[in-house]
Structure 1
């Protein structure tokens, strides 16, 4: 514990944002860091609670009170060592994680919780600024080779852990740059891509080989994987959910990931002649999650005429719901920075039809208000409200409906068993083909970046155990980095 009673003396302080008019004029990150002296205070708010529920809230088991204490003592290098012992990429989670650790913080019962995510981001950025984060190549090699398919957070974490164990690791990525969802699924204003490149450069210096534009099972045969002693499948859950709605084929109905990916590629110099633009259009984003929020922020930066958001579920409460008490993840209204930039949010709305003109171009949406009938022991029933149909003007409808699971290309060609949700089956991350493992969204379904990193780390441990008969790679919440 850094300071006795620090949680009583200091209030929570978060990063602030640039003004809306300034930040929507570009695609850069727009947060304003908390001053260094205030960060010391924020670290001292960690209250020596006895049982740190933040550990169980974090899928990585980050040693949160430990690095908070080091920040309070201004021992930043020690804080970094503790943080990186359980989290390979705190620069990603410190920007993008919804922070389940904060929702389970004991201080959150009576006051605002400790600003764990911001402290994490501040530690790692200080580490890069001071030159403390350096490549750490293994001292010896095992002679074993591993192929990692997919370079999202799960694949990168698995690759780094396996490389640290001394195996020779090659990462295959079907896109033209490393990062997976981090690269093209997350807008630049939330994660500038230089942050990814900075980390990839370190991984390369540690000895990991990256191969882009390699789509295993398509332009790279699965037979060529036979050269590797083990394979880790981290291809994500990329099958996008659509709607069985009349007019879905109208020109102007676009999957959110296509919209976001195109914008990022154009931002970094690629030519996309048919780029989907929201400029001057009435935009409706269907889906109330993080991807929907990203579409709202991007549409505002395009200069949309209007931005409207539909969510079929009820509006969550502002505070915690009684159904999700502390320390559980709360059912609670989330207002993102993109929502604040301008958006008409609507709940309990179902799209009935996409309306188009004689050219097949989208001109509007027909909706109906709904409610959910809850019967114990039965699935919720969606009931339409009679007489509530409405036509909304719309030139661009963005489908931000999440993902149904991983693609079947690899499972079919490699003979991997899948479950009822099409996720790749695995016991201790090992599939029915003994030398093939899987992790991340491909194994557990669509989830959080922090879960992907955790899965990659855990899968790497199982691969190392399979290859060598024993392993020194850590389990969840156990550190594995040498002193910096």
Structure 2
């Protein structure tokens, strides 16, 4: 440990943020890096815990605690404090193929499980993680490393999100010939089209994909397996298949007026915006515009926040985010002890931007949509809501009770549904006769990743349901290991 008193000497400092009002005039990353001396101070705050929990990656009460890719966090924190950036990069890449993705877009369950976080602000782990990899790229230390030897095995990976990319990277390291199929025009899955540019720029994804290409991985885009590429051809041409198609079946809201125009799934809104932005800087107009509209985002999670940030940049008229739950407290409740993920009130980047633009936090709490009302042309014009109280019964089921007298009407010409996903799309799975569980996810044991079909594996959200980037990377790496074992009867992959 470089500085035993670091956590007492230095306050927490995460990446700086650009001004939340002026940054909405562009699509550049909203954060700014720390200076080197600031990063060393943040590394010094790591406490050299007797039993560090930041890297555990376990589920507690349905929430992730610690890092699912089991990052060697105390090691590279200390190395940053010592100024040993090259060694820190080696430690970082040892467990995570893509620290630049997690450094920008992971919610950092590692910080929620940081021992210092019991009674102080946790170590700024994600900030340090991102600066290690950014410095590695800047100094030319991140280079293609194609395998020295090749096997005669060919593997197809269906889906190029974080699980698919991690799986492909690991299988390629084992020497197999890997082809990744992506149904959209750009590689990256939800990394590319589900996370906005100001949070995770496509250039960051493309930079890593180009390295993977130089290492020998083949990417086939605009190809929807099962439609554009027959299943029989896939099975005959490859020795193994890994399904990493994600959980992209939208959750919907079933209330009166849902059929009205102007109501969209959040991911359709984000996807169209990013594609138009990358294709033409929005000049082609092929996106869902929030300009001069009263926008309501239904859903309080990260995707909803991304919709807020995108709508503000479109120059919307007003902006509201419905959260079904009550406003959370500033500190942990007794039933949410460390090292669980802290369920506390947080203000995310899109909410800061909305507040800077319109004067107040955009969230409305404990609000449930009752009906949508349209105009004479079939477009949504307002939302009728009521406040609710949410409790949990003895079986752990949520019970929502409407509160009389809290009815309200909200103007809305654009409604974005950001209430998550219910599981993977079923068409490909049904064509391949892959078994699913009672939640419609691919039935494959965690750690084994084998489906009921010989030589077919599954990983990421397609197997576990909607989850975090770090879980997708964890599963992609694990599925690669088991696929390699299947092909070679043994494996050296971690």
TM-score class normalised by the smaller sequence: over 0.9
C-alpha contact (below 8 Å) 2:276/2:286 kept by paired residues: no
C-alpha contact (below 8 Å) 1:253/1:399 kept by paired residues: yes
Q: Provide Cα deviations, 1:374-430, integer angstroms capped at 9, x if missing partner.
A: 332352221111122211111111000100000001210111000111000012100
- Greater CA deviation, 46-55 or 375-384? 375-384
Query: Deviation at 1:110?
Result: 2.4
Q: Provide Cα deviations, 1:277-299, integer angstroms capped at 9, x if missing partner.
A: 11001000000000000000000
Query: Deviation at 1:275?
Result: 2.4
Q: Which residue of 2 aligns with 1:448?
A: 468
Q: Provide Cα deviations, 1:173-227, integer angstroms capped at 9, x if missing partner.
A: 0000000000000000001110011000100000000000010011111111121
Corresponding position: 1:404 with 2:411: no
Q: Provide Cα deviations, 1:302-329, integer angstroms capped at 9, x if missing partner.
A: 0011000101122222211221211111
Corresponding residue to 2:455 among 428, 435, 454 = 435
Q: Which residue of 2 aligns with 1:104?
A: 113
* CA distance in structure 1 between the partners assigned to 2:85 and 2:156 by the alignment: 35
Q: Provide Cα deviations, 1:441-475, integer angstroms capped at 9, x if missing partner.
A: 0000000001100110011000001110110001x
* CA distance in structure 2 between the partners assigned to 1:358 and 1:218 by the alignment: 39
Q: Which residue of 2 aligns with 1:124?
A: 133
Query: Deviation at 1:113?
Result: 1.0
Corresponding position: 1:76 with 2:123: no
Q: Which residue of 1 aligns with 2:238?
A: 228
- SS of the aligned residue for 2:25 comes to coil
C-alpha contact (below 8 Å) 1:147/1:230 kept by paired residues: yes
- SS of the aligned residue for 2:320 comes to strand
* CA distance in structure 1 between the partners assigned to 2:411 and 2:179 by the alignment: 49
TM-score (norm 2): 0.94
Query: Runs of 4+ in structure 1 displaced over 4 angstroms?
Result: 270-274
- SS of the aligned residue for 1:161 comes to helix
Give runs of aligned pairs for residues 85-484 of structure 1, distance below 5 A.
85-225=94-234, 226-269=236-279, 273=285, 275-342=287-354, 343-377=361-395, 379-427=397-445, 428-474=448-494
C-alpha contact (below 8 Å) 2:312/2:353 kept by paired residues: yes
* CA distance in structure 1 between the partners assigned to 2:285 and 2:37 by the alignment: 48
Structure 2 gap ranges (5+): 57-65, 355-360
Q: Provide Cα deviations, 1:100-136, integer angstroms capped at 9, x if missing partner.
A: 1111111111211111100000000000000000001
1:107 to 1:273, Cα distance in 2 relative to 1, 3 A: closer
1:373 to 1:63, Cα distance in 2 relative to 1, 3 A: closer
TM-score (norm 1): 0.96
C-alpha contact (below 8 Å) 2:276/2:285 kept by paired residues: no
Structure 1 gap ranges (5+): 475-484
* CA distance in structure 1 between the partners assigned to 2:155 and 2:108 by the alignment: 32
Q: Which residue of 2 aligns with 1:37?
A: 37
C-alpha contact (below 8 Å) 2:272/2:286 kept by paired residues: no
* CA distance in structure 1 between the partners assigned to 2:252 and 2:286 by the alignment: 21
* CA distance in structure 2 between the partners assigned to 1:466 and 1:33 by the alignment: 43
C-alpha contact (below 8 Å) 1:293/1:336 kept by paired residues: yes
* CA distance in structure 2 between the partners assigned to 1:190 and 1:321 by the alignment: 30
Q: CA RMSD for the aligned pairs?
A: 1.1
Question: How many residues are paired up?
Answer: 474
* CA distance in structure 1 between the partners assigned to 2:27 and 2:286 by the alignment: 20
* CA distance in structure 2 between the partners assigned to 1:160 and 1:338 by the alignment: 33
